[in-house]
Structure 1
Amino acid sequence: MLNPLDPSKSRKVASLPGTGWFDFAFSFDDKRLALVEAKSINETYVWVMDLASGKRRRVLPAEGETPAQPIASFHLNFSRDGKGLFLATDRDGEFMKLAYLDLGTGKLQYFGEGGEWDIEGVSLSPNGRTLAVIANEGGIGSLRLYDAATRRALARPALPVGTVAGAVWHHNSRDLAVSVASAQSPSDVYTIDVARNGVERWTETKIPGLDASTFKSAEPITWKSFDGRSISGFITRPPARFTGKRPVIVSIHGGPEAQARPGFLARWNYFVNELGIAVIEPNVRGSTGRGKTFVALDNGMKREDSVKDIGALFDWIRAQPDLDADRIVAFGGSYGGYMVLGVATNYPDRIAGAIDVVGIANFVTFLENTETYRRDLRRVEYGDERDPAMREFLTRISPVNNAQKIKAPLLVVAGLNDPRVRYTEAEQIVAAARKNNVPVWYLLADNEGHGFARKPNADFLFYAVIAFVEERLLK
């Protein structure tokens, strides 16, 4: 524990096993610490530690309690009197619900508006009197305020249309800062005076000569997959001046425990507004935001079911009168890069090109080489490569071992210093595809890691993607 005003007096409080500890919250008297131990996105444990002794007690699920299925809980906040925790948990249902955990009795008391959505942020004011809560409603972040003592909802502030994120309290406990993003604006900062429910905009992002008000908003879409399950996503269609059936970029998010959400498309607006390409962002099984059953539907040996969701999306695209199913490029980064390669090997005749950015090509070598701090967490998701049956399965489905099926040209991108997905994953798929005479553009940055962070590199990658997409979709 470190006092930033007097670093010399830092002291070791306790040693914690494993690496998945986070979401630390101090009690108001600074004598206790609440913390989360994460085994996976679906399995966490809430502990309370005495800071004088370092001893900790498990409070959710309680010590000795073995739940019928894993529980996930996040966003811990001690109540003002120290008798309980405000948090979000899925203990009694599919979604993360707002709750108060009584530390004396162990009882959970749910409050707030219900709905089929996850609570993704809980922040208690410094004086312990007001809760700022962000809910993920169909991919859109919405803000609600509650009286912490009565747990009753307060008047909702009149924020502009968009996705709210990052609630941060001022030390005066009256002013709350949030960011709001929409298709027409990146994340700009607003403050809320909770005493009078007033809203004030603090930043306004503008680029000279750019009229962001013309940017198209994403529309929600759904389609049926191979097993009848409904899969959802978002489509951003190009302006009406582009006539005829439009080509499509299917942009698949990473994670896989993540979610495509409507917001500011940034550079992707170029493909929509200037090139007339529709952008579809699917939330295949394994994505968050649809409940804990949905997020686990791709685990282990169900891995390729998520790839089949993209195959069903291709059927949906073909049924649309304004989209050209013969001109599709698949794009994805990290786990999304695996998805792109999985699509290229499972649906080789249905795409015109594939862009794999820092993606997984071989699950076995990925798990063996990813940094140790995250290896066990990834084994929960993908399977344990040390188990012979799982190793055989992961070997069999890995794109590098199915590269002979690839027909569409590839653009493969990697960072030499990537600790998560080693650049050797890219090297493997590039070599295997070229061996089969598949055209491959390969971009390896020797000063990047898991994605391109340096602006010159990011710019170069952007121009490379434009050139690749123009060649594959517009010629």
Structure 2
Amino acid sequence: MPTYRFPALAAFLAAASTLLHGAAAAAPIPIEYFFEQPEFSQALLSPSGKYLAAKVAARGSREGLVVVDLVNNSARKVAQFSDADIGNVHWISEERLLFDTEDKRLGLRDIEYGPGLYAVDRDGQHLRQLADRSGAALRERSIRTLLPWHTFMLEQPGAQDSDYVYVADRKYEWPGVLRREGLLRLNTRTGQSTAVLRPADTEDWLLDYQGEPRLAWAFEKNMATLYLREAADNSWRKLHTHDIYKPGSDSFTPLAFGPDKQLYVRSHQSGDKSAVHVFDSTSGKISKTPLVQLDGFDFSGHLIFGKGRLLGVRHLSEAWETSWVDAAMKKVQEDVDARLPQTINRIDLPARPETDNILVTAESDRQPPLTYVYNTQAKTFNKVGESYSRIDPARMAPQQFLRYKARDGLEIPALLTLPEGSKGKKLPMLVLVHGGPWARASIWGWNPSAQFLASRGYAVLEPDFRGSTGYGDAHLAAGFKQWGLKMQDDVADGARWAIAQGWADPQRICIAGASYGGYATLMGLLRDPELFKCGINWVGVTDIQLMYSGHWSALSDQSERWREYGMPQLIGDPEKDAEQLKATSPLLQAARIRQPLLLAYGGVDRRVPLYHGTKFRDAVKAHNKEVEWVEYAEEGHGWTLPKNRIDFWGRVEKFLDRHIGAGAKTE
């Protein structure tokens, strides 16, 4: 494998980026700068902190795996394939890495089977394939047998102290719907594996602080059961059972086992907003006093352990931030922030440090992620990678997290992105509605879609309407069975609030979104035709009953459990709520939509199958001549291929320009 000087490479890329920024200053920023694959990602320090692994790719080439020796500042590419990109990466010891692959040149239609599994030493030696990725049940490589294609890496890195690692053996009902997940203990040098005894048809696992399996989840009907593995004899016992679809019940989410062997969980024990508590596995009780509680937000994030104790907490409030318990780490964070005052700086630590190296990821609303290695003693920074080097932060738009009131008084969190220098102007605005809908959109930081739209002169409002996660049980539950109703009111109220603030031109507002956001786009055009002048729906639901009935020609990745127990409670019962679902069906009311509309769907979407789009397209085009349709035949639920992302957002740019932008006809 070739060796090269990493600082020289970083300097070369930085110089090229500077030249590009200067040359392009007067012209619109090209679409591909926003939607191309990142050049540098997934940086990870080795357990000692002496080495850094990362994924790198020159433009147009496959992603490879590089290891940097931080002692002598040299780098070596340790894995590269001509027919695949590097996927997930973990250090499994100081000497060895585990990784899988993905093919970023193929859409869902053309992907067959699994990501494979590989291990390699940090010097590029002893590369070994451990799991097949072609779909063959068994395949010989020399004298060894590979694990099957449905072998996957865990998100948890494990102990990182030997050649052994735990991997998942997943069995599926049909594509995308998991039946059960087993666990294998795998030797990455010999390829030999041993199955871990399962307590039931498990679907998820949690390793403890020593990297051993301690918790397992199993699901039956609407109930989730958590099992604990006893350290003494490796037997499993039932720890807790709760209803999956009832927020505010006695449910909790395990987060981690600490060095003290305590189980830390996320729970609503202390009120409406979830917080971090300690769970007593002997009594089955959750501590009454929270360990970590955020003001105005549910806890989302993870605990940071080191030196045999809890050091800090990575959490999401308005943005991803870190709160340190450890006094020494507080001082390190202060030093880093003083050196990098324009960004939020997230620090990651090696598992068993033997050096003074830490990893710093710096990001802001205008700055895509930058990665540094910081030496805490010498107080030196070494920039080792940029995700999007062609993005000039000086040309990006400022973003703010805010809250506005819905018509019934409920506070709605939102992000507002305004083009640079546009304050005081009534702008054309796009209201961008997130999918899920049980998700969160309003996370402050660099966002390619919002920044692209702002670079074209549009204000962008992203509301976290009722039903969004992250703001407490009451905010979540207020969205139950409110598709097309109060959830829709929240979106429209956001647009009217932006008008009242003087940011949005009331004659130039468009609504857009994907998945649930696509559904909300269509309902927005129906319910508020005087407010929304046009709509952009990609991979959007067009009729709730279609989510139940499906179609013989399409596979869905929605489980029968979700259809039977989740959807009736959260969205609407197909029989009891039939009239409401009819009244909130864009498909059944398509003739009423007369505003210009852009529709885009994936040909092999398993979440919102193509017939949602084609049925609605045929219904709306009979009465609306301003309908543009695009189908990406190889894509699923969203655009994985850069060429399709670039094509889609190019269509969005032209569509908006015609209807609310500079090219729009004025009355």
**Structure 2 length normalisation: TM-score?**
0.61
In the other structure, the counterpart of 2:504 is 323
Asked if 2 retains the 8 angstrom alpha-carbon contact of 1:23 and 1:75, the reply is no
Asked if 2 retains the 8 angstrom alpha-carbon contact of 1:288 and 1:294, the reply is yes
- What is the count of residue pairs matched by the alignment? 459
Change (3 A) 1:126 1:319: closer
* Farther-moved stretch of structure 1 (392-401 vs 443-452): 392-401
1:185 match: secondary structure? coil
* Farther-moved stretch of structure 1 (113-122 vs 305-314): 113-122
1:436 match: secondary structure? coil
Q: CA deviation at 1:198?
A: 8.9
Asked if 2 retains the 8 angstrom alpha-carbon contact of 1:47 and 1:60, the reply is no
Partners of 2:349 and 2:388 lie apart in 1 by 26
> Pick from 192, 204, 207: which aligns with 2:386?
204
Q: CA deviation at 1:414?
A: 0.7
> Pick from 326, 347, 371: which aligns with 1:189?
371
In the other structure, the counterpart of 2:257 is 78
What letter corresponds to residue 2 of structure 1 in structure 2? L
Larger Rg: 2
Equivalence map 1:88-127=2 (5 Å)? 88-105=266-283, 106-108=285-287, 109-112=289-292, 114-125=294-305
* Farther-moved stretch of structure 1 (290-299 vs 181-190): 181-190
1:261 match: secondary structure? coil
Partners of 1:376 and 1:405 lie apart in 2 by 35
* Offset from partner CA, 1:254-282 (integer Å, 9 cap, x none): 11122222211325323323x32111111
Equivalence map 1:48-67=2 (5 Å)? 48-50=228-230, 55-59=236-240
* Offset from partner CA, 1:165-202 (integer Å, 9 cap, x none): 7x765231586646443122123335577899998754
Instruction: Confirm or deny that 1:220 pairs with 2:401.
Output: yes
In the other structure, the counterpart of 2:98 is none
Of all paired residues, the percent bearing the same amino acid is 20
Partners of 2:205 and 2:369 lie apart in 1 by 23
1:10 match: secondary structure? strand
Partners of 2:476 and 2:443 lie apart in 1 by 16
Instruction: Confirm or deny that 1:400 pairs with 2:587.
Output: yes
Q: CA deviation at 1:9?
A: 3.0
1:294 match: secondary structure? helix
Q: CA deviation at 1:404?
A: 2.2
Q: CA deviation at 1:349?
A: 2.3
What letter corresponds to residue 611 of structure 2 in structure 1? T
Partners of 2:247 and 2:393 lie apart in 1 by 50
Partners of 2:359 and 2:230 lie apart in 1 by 31
Partners of 2:218 and 2:225 lie apart in 1 by 5
Q: CA deviation at 1:47?
A: 3.7
Instruction: Confirm or deny that 1:261 pairs with 2:443.
Output: yes
Instruction: Confirm or deny that 1:305 pairs with 2:486.
Output: yes
* Farther-moved stretch of structure 1 (228-237 vs 116-125): 116-125
1:110 match: secondary structure? coil
Instruction: Confirm or deny that 1:271 pairs with 2:458.
Output: no
* Offset from partner CA, 1:142-168 (integer Å, 9 cap, x none): 102335xxx999557134555567x76
* Offset from partner CA, 1:425-446 (integer Å, 9 cap, x none): 1112111111222421111111
Aligned-residue Cα RMSD (Å) equals: 3.6
Change (3 A) 1:146 1:53: same
Higher relative contact order (CA 8 A, sep 6+): 2
1:184 match: secondary structure? coil
Instruction: Confirm or deny that 1:371 pairs with 2:550.
Output: no
Partners of 2:369 and 2:220 lie apart in 1 by 31
What letter corresponds to residue 454 of structure 2 in structure 1? V
Asked if 1 retains the 8 angstrom alpha-carbon contact of 2:218 and 2:226, the reply is yes
Instruction: Confirm or deny that 1:33 pairs with 2:214.
Output: yes
Change (3 A) 1:419 1:201: same
What letter corresponds to residue 80 of structure 1 in structure 2? P
Change (3 A) 1:392 1:196: farther
Change (3 A) 1:4 1:170: farther
Change (3 A) 1:439 1:157: same
What letter corresponds to residue 11 of structure 1 in structure 2? A
Equivalence map 1:117-266=2 (5 Å)? 117-125=297-305, 128-137=308-317, 139-146=318-325, 157-158=333-334, 159=337, 160=340, 162=343, 169-172=349-352, 177=359, 179-190=361-372, 202-205=384-387, 207-208=389-390, 210-240=391-421, 244-259=425-440, 260-266=442-448
Asked if 1 retains the 8 angstrom alpha-carbon contact of 2:225 and 2:238, the reply is no
In the other structure, the counterpart of 1:356 is 537
Change (3 A) 1:249 1:177: same
Gaps of at least 5 residues in structure 2 are 1-182
Asked if 1 retains the 8 angstrom alpha-carbon contact of 2:204 and 2:217, the reply is yes
* Offset from partner CA, 1:297-347 (integer Å, 9 cap, x none): 111256521101122123213323342011111110111111111111111
**Structure 1 length normalisation: TM-score?**
0.84
Q: CA deviation at 1:44?
A: 6.6
Q: CA deviation at 1:356?
A: 0.5
Change (3 A) 1:297 1:470: same
What letter corresponds to residue 437 of structure 2 in structure 1? P
> Pick from 657, 660, 663: which aligns with 1:473?
660
1:388 match: secondary structure? coil
Partners of 2:324 and 2:424 lie apart in 1 by 46
Asked if 2 retains the 8 angstrom alpha-carbon contact of 1:35 and 1:47, the reply is yes
Partners of 2:328 and 2:240 lie apart in 1 by 25
* Farther-moved stretch of structure 1 (151-160 vs 312-321): 151-160
What letter corresponds to residue 262 of structure 1 in structure 2? W
Asked if 1 retains the 8 angstrom alpha-carbon contact of 2:200 and 2:218, the reply is no
Asked if 1 retains the 8 angstrom alpha-carbon contact of 2:217 and 2:224, the reply is yes
In the other structure, the counterpart of 1:412 is 599
Instruction: Confirm or deny that 1:431 pairs with 2:615.
Output: no
1:119 match: secondary structure? coil
Change (3 A) 1:308 1:29: closer
Partners of 1:373 and 1:127 lie apart in 2 by 43
What letter corresponds to residue 445 of structure 1 in structure 2? Y
Change (3 A) 1:69 1:462: closer
What letter corresponds to residue 470 of structure 2 in structure 1? G
Asked if 1 retains the 8 angstrom alpha-carbon contact of 2:186 and 2:192, the reply is no
